[in-house]
Chains A and B, each alone.
Chain A
Amino acid sequence: MATVIVPAVLRPLTGGVTRVDATGSTVHEVIDDLVRQYGQLKDRIIDDNGVRPELFIAVAGQEIFDITQAVPAGAEVNILPAIAGG
């Protein structure tokens, strides 16, 4: 079980819900469960090539680059907008 933090940009698709408990032992599984709970998120977070380019994902504060990476029980999974600067 992990807690997924939904970014403001996707919250319209969860009816405003920010924190979602989701099951899974890898990032891919956790996101799949999140999408099962909120169908409108389908293909909005990960697609065939992995994490969508306008987002990035951090598990327990560490950015992940591989969605098969393990998610420890109770960890926070943050989905964040990919922004850089000027």
Chain B
Amino acid sequence: MSKHHVITRINGEDIEFLTDPGTSLLSALRDQLGLTGAKEGCNNGNCGACNVVLNGELVNSCCVLAVEVNGGELATIEGVANGDDLHPLQQSFINDAALQCGICTPGFIVAAKALLEREPDADEARIRHWLAGNLCRCTGYDKIVQAVLDAAPEMRAAARA
């Protein structure tokens, strides 16, 4: 079976690669493109550790085929910080000790960013509802939810600016 040629934009950069049609986006990111920030926790869409934003939608990259990003825009954890400047969510996760082992953290940050960009005033209940697709086994979620709440004001201010 011949490979497909994919042309896409990842974190604002033009990227091209070849892929088998059956390869998941998660595999392509990790094994071919050197973007290992998205993690494999379950490979069937139940843990959110592989979250990326594809054409503005939050998705589990394990459930997306690599060929589907052709002609599209992909945002991964690697594009969240602005060079050396951490995103408010990244900073609040650090400030609030919202990570222990850290394996779920990229997925949570991508997911929380997607929420707060759509719903800047999301309250605790809404945050919990949105993040129910991201599993964490270390923290019990308390500090994660707190970190998202704590990042929201700065994100709202930046959006207004």
Do A and B have CB atoms closer than 8 angstroms in the complex? no
Interface residues of B (CB under 8 A from A): none
Q: Residues of A with Cβ closer than 8 Å to B?
A: none
